[in-house]
């Protein structure tokens, strides 16, 4: 599933082609994806101008000038494709099959933006005033001004659950996923199995900064392309070439001065990659 950097990369790619543009036509090629589409989705969106394109956690929000917002989630395999006259540098990868084009937005400038989702775990909803159960439960943004070691300390207080599991809890930190949690914990030198409530405040301050650094670097690199992720322009992200632990089981640790070997363990059904030598 795309994590915060991948979703932010897609948002930035869509920005010049959707924000400030009017939706001339919205076409739904099926009744829904993960859930049914709202019955008034086409009526509300058609003719509306997109006043802002935002991200919240792993969701993209397109604010409309009619007091509503499109809430978009890419699911496991969703992609936003940009096509149209005058955008000759964008070409459609022939491996992306048109039969998976489920939502198509055509703007007043002739740009065609398509949600292509082979597994159909994505979603498009219509919300007002940012009111949605999906957004209400989300914790703070890790790239927001208020995110710090104190944020983590408050979320971890008296918790015995492994720090890896709690960092994946969207109620504590919004937008983090398996890849970037593994990478941040390695940089912070924290064992993913360690009880979250027993990590010192000093180490949590360092962890918060490493989380911000990893996410910032990943966004700058266009995210990580492992299976389905591409930028909205069709380009691949390349942060996967900077992984220090994720997917590197059996390889040497890349932390300077560490002679350890990366191991993989399973936590809550998810793979955790870590170095037993330098993560304590």
Tell which residue, 115, 120, 172, 118, has the closest CA to residue 142. Answer: 172
DSSP per-residue string spanning 150-176: HHHHHHHTT--SBHHHHHT-TTTSSS-
Contact predicate 117/102, CB 8 Å = yes
Could you give phi then psi for residue 21, rounded to 5 degrees?
A: -95, 155
Residue 214 near residue 181, CB atoms below 8 Å: no
**Structure tokens given for 266:** 């399973």
- CA angle centred on 123, ends 117 and 129, rounded to 5°: 150
Catalytic residues: 2-3, 58, 270
């Amino acid at each position: 599933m795309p994590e915060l950097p991948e979703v932010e990369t897609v948002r930035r790619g869509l920005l010049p082609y959707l924000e400030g543009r009017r939706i001339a036509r919205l076409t739904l090629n099926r009744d829904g994806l993960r859930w049914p589409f709202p019955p008034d989705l086409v009526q509300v969106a058609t003719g509306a101008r997109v006043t802002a394109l935002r991200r919240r956690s792993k969701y993209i929000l397109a604010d409309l000038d009619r007091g509503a917002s499109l809430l978009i989630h890419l699911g496991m395999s969703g992609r936003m494709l940009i096509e149209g006259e005058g955008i000759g540098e964008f070409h459609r990868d022939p491996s992306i099959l048109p039969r998976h084009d489920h939502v198509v937005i055509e703007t007043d400038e002739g740009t065609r933006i398509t949600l292509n989702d082979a597994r159909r775990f994505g979603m498009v909803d219509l919300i007002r005033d940012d009111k949605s159960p999906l957004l209400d439960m989300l914790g703070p943004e890790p790239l927001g001004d208020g995110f710090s070691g104190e944020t983590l300390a408050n979320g971890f207080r008296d918790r015995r659950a492994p720090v890896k599991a709690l960092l994946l809890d969207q109620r504590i930190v919004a937008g983090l996923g398996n890849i970037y949690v593994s990478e941040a914990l390695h940089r912070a030198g924290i064992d993913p199995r360690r009880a979250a409530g027993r990590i010192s405040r000093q180490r949590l301050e360092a962890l918060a900064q490493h989380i911000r650094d990893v996410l910032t670097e990943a966004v700058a690199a266009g995210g990580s392309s492992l299976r389905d992720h591409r930028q909205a322009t069709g380009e691949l992200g390349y942060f996967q070439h900077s992984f220090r632990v994720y997917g590197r089981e059996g390889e040497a640790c890349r932390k300077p001065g560490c002679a350890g070997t990366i191991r993989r363990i399973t936590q809550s059904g998810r793979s955790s990659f870590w170095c037993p030598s330098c993560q304590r």
